[in-house]
Amino acid sequence: MRRDPRQPLVQLVIRDLTDRKKTEEMIRRSDKLSIAGELAAGVAHEIRNPLTSLKGFMQLLKAKKTEYVDIMLVEIDRISYIVNEFIGMAKPQARNYVECDVQSLMNEVIVFMHPQSLLYNAQIRLQADPPCLPVRCEPNQIKQVFINILKNAIESMPGGGTVEIGIQMLEDRRGVVTRIVDQGGGIPPDRLAKIGEPFFSLKESGTGLGLMVCYRIIEAHKGRIDIRSVMNEGTTIEIELPV
């Protein structure tokens, strides 16, 4: 059937913008992390020097058995912890990449987290699908990521529960995925999108810097973190590292 050239022609173009929106969101998140990292570096260096002096004088006072020094030392340790989180957020770049077995790193972390799991009456179960190729990474930083996420998973189950950990290769064998699943109360959908942003935390005493550091470390390793959660069922966090 021939088209009448005198009739107007309408052309309809449909494009799937899902990938574009995901890319834009990744860029926005990366910009936020970079800005927060620069701010953190400046703040941390300004605080660290006087903090060291204060702690030294407090320890001298403690030797003289001055009242309330223990309380002040606890608070100073708390400030020091936050400053160290700032430093980790500002400088997460891995310098010494070595080939590591992800399962071996996770086994070390599980041993380290055993006292924490006993405190919360939580069990940690690991299932790895061999063989998994080694990944090039900075092992201490990857263990830091595992520790932060496992700690959050355990603390999300104050009444006890099980944390399931799975490690497996991607089908194309280009990466290793570590999946950590808890049985906690889950994360509300309106808060899930903010996870990993500076100073956003679901804990009353949290700083929101722990997960942010995790994001920066995995980003420096060219990997990704994906979080899914269902209210009253639990949260699943997947960490993918390239081979």
Tell me if domain 18-90 and domain 98-242 are identical in fold: no
Residue 99 bridge partners (DSSP): 136
Query: What is the CATH number assigned to the segment(s) 18-90?
Result: 1.10.287
Per-residue pLDDT at 12: 75
Residue boundaries of the structural domains of the chain:
18-90, 98-242
Provide the residue-wise pLDDT of the chain in tens; the chain has 243 residues: 566 667 777 777 787 777 777 777 666 666 666 666 666 666 666 676 677 777 777 777 777 776 677 777 777 777 776 676 666 655 555 467 899 999 999 999 999 899 889 999 999 999 988 778 899 998 988 998 999 899 999 999 988 999 999 999 988 888 999 999 999 988 888 887 777 665 555 555 555 567 888 888 898 899 999 999 999 899 999 999 998
Q: What is the rounded CA–CA span in Å between residue 112 and residue 193?
A: 30
CATH 3.50.50.60 fits 98-242, yes or no: no
Element of type H or E holding 124: strand 122-128
Per-residue pLDDT at 40: 64
